[in-house]
Amino acid sequence: MLESVPQTDRRRPPPPPGARTRETAITRQHTENPPSIDADEPWMRGLHADAGYLLYRLGLRSGQLFNTFLQESGLRLRHYAVLRFLATSQGALQRELSTRLGYDPSAIVGLVDDLEKLGFAERRPSPDDRRSRIVVLTDAGGAFLRDTDEAGRRVTNDLLGPLDPAERDTLHALLQRIADRP
């Protein structure tokens, strides 16, 4: 018969507020000093020949920069995307947000909950179907978006810094064409 030996809890206690953890140090390192893309390294040549990988890297970098800016507000790029979509509509059903933004429906619920807690969005009865609720942008949410517009431009300018204005326009048009494809 095997005796049950009590196991000690191997989890570490949470760090005190404000303490630098390994995770925050890594995040800070990647946002403050992003690793360069070493296209000349033999192990990277194959990846850099793949446009999909380069788009992935650009998306990661964009998200890191924008999330760093949003960090103080407690929001992330995904929240911002929901607010930006709501700013262009008279409100949307959660399933529409999920479809249009490409997020899992369960993620939308949490994102909208977070935005409601901050007063940036609210759920209201749908004018077309009283059983449904639409998510709408509040005045506070609109003000938050206006305040973040400049940060969005700075992030874009940082990412596209190596390109001249004509190249930026071309890149945008090409990305738009790809993104609009069903």
Whether the predicted pLDDT of 94 surpasses 80: yes
At residue 31 the predicted structure's pLDDT band, cuts being 50, 70 and 90, is: very low
Residue range 103-159, pLDDT digits in tens: 999 999 999 999 999 999 999 998 888 888 899 999 999 999 998 888 888 888 888
Rounded CA separation 154/143 (Å): 18
First to last CA, the chain: 62
Among candidate residues 75, 94, 90, the one with its CA nearest the CA of residue 145: 75
* pLDDT, mean of residues 10-32: 42
Residue 23: its pLDDT value, please? 37
Residue range 35-91, pLDDT digits in tens: 555 656 666 666 767 788 888 888 898 889 888 888 878 889 899 999 999 999 988
Residue 43: its pLDDT value, please? 65
* pLDDT, mean of residues 149-175: 90
Reduced 3-state DSSP string for the chain: CCCCCCCCCCCCCCCCCCCCCHHHHHHHHHHHCCCCCCCCCHHHHHHHCCHHHHHHHHHHHHHHHHHHHHHHHCCCHHHHHHHHHHHCCCCEEHHHHHHHHCCCHHHHHHHHHHHHHCCCEEEEECCCCCCCEEEEECHHHHHHHHHHHHHHHHHHHHHCCCCCHHHHHHHHHHHHHHHCCC
Residue range 17-26, pLDDT digits in tens: 444 433 333 3
Of 28 and 132, more confident:
132
Among candidate residues 62, 90, 98, 77, the one with its CA nearest the CA of residue 148: 77
53 close to 44: Cβ distance less than 8 angstroms? no
Residue 57: its pLDDT value, please? 87
86 close to 136: Cβ distance less than 8 angstroms? yes
Question: Which pair of structure tokens corresponds to residue 31?
Answer: 């946002």
Whether the predicted pLDDT of 9 surpasses 50: no
Residue 171: its pLDDT value, please? 92
